[in-house]
Structure 1
Amino acid sequence: MGHRIFTMSFGSVYPLYVAKLERKGRTRAELDEVIGWLTGFDESAIRERVADGTTFEQFFAGATLNPDAALITGVICGVRVEEIDDPLMQKIRYLDKLVDELARGKAMDKVLRSA
């Protein structure tokens, strides 16, 4: 069962998300907005989890997933996110998909499935 990413610290991947988005002209604030939308964490909760070594498994165990997360569809790493069986892997891929959409320049209201 255990994918390596489950035990990776969220804080080790977060700067990679930031760098990817900043290269594309997006901001850390936009990343935090997307993470907050998906997980229910505010900016300080995100910072705390980045700093304290929280694993992805712990990160999503403490999250309140947005009910609209099921609207996130498409392919990430060659796999359709809506077809991923493992609930934790699906949540991680939801986050990856949102970051990718931001990086591709998609409007925030579209990324957050509010339109």
Structure 2
Amino acid sequence: MRFTKDHEWVVLQGDVATVGITAHAAEQLGDVVFVETPEVGKTVKAGDAFAVVESVKAASDVYAPISGEVIEANGELGSAPETVNASPENGGWFAKVKLSDPSEYEALMDRAAYDAFLATQ
């Protein structure tokens, strides 16, 4: 699992990256009430907003941590957005992206680096 400074996580299996928001981000948002996942077939570029998460506190963009094509969206979040709070780094994933540049994944933080980053926040 790798992480961004915008609090997204990525798990890579072959050339497919599963993307979601971190437990820290879910905790900061509070109770998630709505999730808009990206459309299947959409091409995303690392750093671009590609999803939206709304909580009782605020609405926030979710940024693509890697570039590629969205091949699957987590449709369960539409009817069960609270899954993002209950399981942010597992069942609360947002989308699966077919990676176009594997070096982008390697450039992301590992868990130790992300934890060190959080300590500076």
Asked whether the two chains share a fold, i.e. TM above 0.5, the reply is no
Higher helix share: 1
TM range (shorter): under 0.3
If each structure's strand is expressed as a fraction of its own residues, which one has the higher value?
2
**Normalising by structure 1, what TM-score?**
0.27
Q: Normalising by structure 2, report the TM-score.
A: 0.26
